[in-house]
Chain A
Amino acid sequence: MRQLAGRVSARAAVWGTLAVLLTWSLAPIAVMVLTSFKKRGDIFAVPARLFPSSWTFDNYQTVLTSSSMPQALLNSVIIGGLVAIATLLFCFSAGYALARFRFRSARPLALFILLGQMVPLTVVLLPVYQIVSSLKLLDTASGVAFAHLAITVPLVTWMVRNQIAAIPYELEEAVQIDGGSRFDAVSYVTLPVCAPGLAAAGMFAFLQSWHEFLFASVMATSTASRTAPVALTQFAGEFDVDWGATMAASVVLTVPIVILFMVMQRYFTAGLTGGAVKG
Chain B
Amino acid sequence: MAMMPRTRLFLGVVIAAVLTVAGTTAYNIVEGGTRDNTVAWWVPDWDYEKATGLVKEFEQQHPGITVELVQTTGDTVANRTAVALDSGNVPDVITESLARVRGYADKGQLADVHELYGPDMPVKDFAPGLVESLTFDGGTYAVPYRWATNALIYNPRLLAAAGIDAPPRTWADFEQDAKRLTRGKVVGTAWPMQGEPNDLTLRFLDFAISDGTKIVDGAPRFTEESAEAALRLIGGSVDEGWASKSSFELDNTGIRELFLQGRIAMYPAGVFDVDAAIEQGADVATALLPGPDGPGTAQGVGWGYLIPRAAPHQESARQLVRFLARPENMAELTVTFPARTSASAAARFSTPERRPYAEQLAQHSVPAANAPRWTATVQAVHDKIQEVALGRVTPAAGAAQILDLVTR
Contact = CB atoms under 8 A, between A and B. Distances in A.
Interface string B256-272: 11100101000000101
A215 to B, nearest CB: 10
Interface stretch (B17-25, B104-112, B315-323): B17-25
Contacts of B32: 136-138
Interface string B1-43: 1011011011100100110010011001101110000000010
Nearest to A179: B1
Nearest to A175: B4
Contact of A184 (B4, B18, B263, B276): B4
Nearest to A242: B253
Contacts, number: 125
A85 interface: yes
A59 to B, nearest CB: 15
Interface in A174-225: 180-181, 183-184, 186-188, 191, 214, 217-218, 221-223
B7 A233 contact: no
B272 A46 contact: no
B135 to A, nearest CB: 25
A230 B87 CA distance: 21
A186 B14 CA distance: 13
A183 B6 CA distance: 10
A136 B74 contact: no
B81 to A, nearest CB: 10
Nearest to B30: A136
B72 interface: yes
B213 to A, nearest CB: 26
B117 interface: no
A238 B336 CA distance: 11
B164 interface: no
Contact of B28 (A126, A142, A180): A142
Contacts of A44: 254, 257-258, 261
A243 interface: yes
B74 A89 contact: no
B192 to A, nearest CB: 12
A43 B250 CA distance: 13
A180 B4 CA distance: 8
Contacts of B79: 214, 217-218
Contact of B276 (A43, A125, A180, A240): A240
Given A183-B3, A233-B76, A239-B273, A191 B252 contact: no
B10 A186 contact: yes
A53 B70 CA distance: 40
A95 to B, nearest CB: 14
Interface residues of B, number: 51
Interface stretch (A16-24, A107-115, A127-135): A127-135
B217 interface: no
Given A129-B83, A230-B76, A138 B89 contact: yes
Interface in B60-99: 70-76, 79-80, 83-84, 86-87, 89
Nearest to B33: A136
Contacts of B28: 135-137, 140, 142-143
Contacts of B42: 221
Contact of B80 (A143, A191, A218): A218
A106 interface: no
A237 interface: yes
A86 interface: yes
Interface string A86-129: 10010000000000000000000000000000000000011001
A140 B76 CA distance: 17
Contacts of B10: 183, 186-187, 191
16 contacts: A44-B258, A46-B258, A46-B261, A89-B18, A129-B83, A130-B87, A137-B29, A142-B28, A143-B28, A181-B4, A183-B10, A183-B11, A218-B83, A221-B42, A237-B74, A238-B46
Interface of B: 1, 3-4, 6-7, 9-11, 14, 17-18, 21, 24-25, 28-29, 31-33, 42, 44-46, 70-76, 79-80, 83-84, 86-87, 89, 185, 251-254, 256-258, 261, 263, 270, 272-273, 276
3 A-B pairs closest in CB distance = A136-B32, A44-B257, A239-B272
Given A184-B7, A237-B46, 15 more contacts: A86-B21, A89-B18, A126-B83, A129-B83, A138-B89, A183-B11, A187-B6, A187-B7, A187-B9, A221-B71, A236-B73, A236-B74, A239-B270, A239-B272, A240-B256
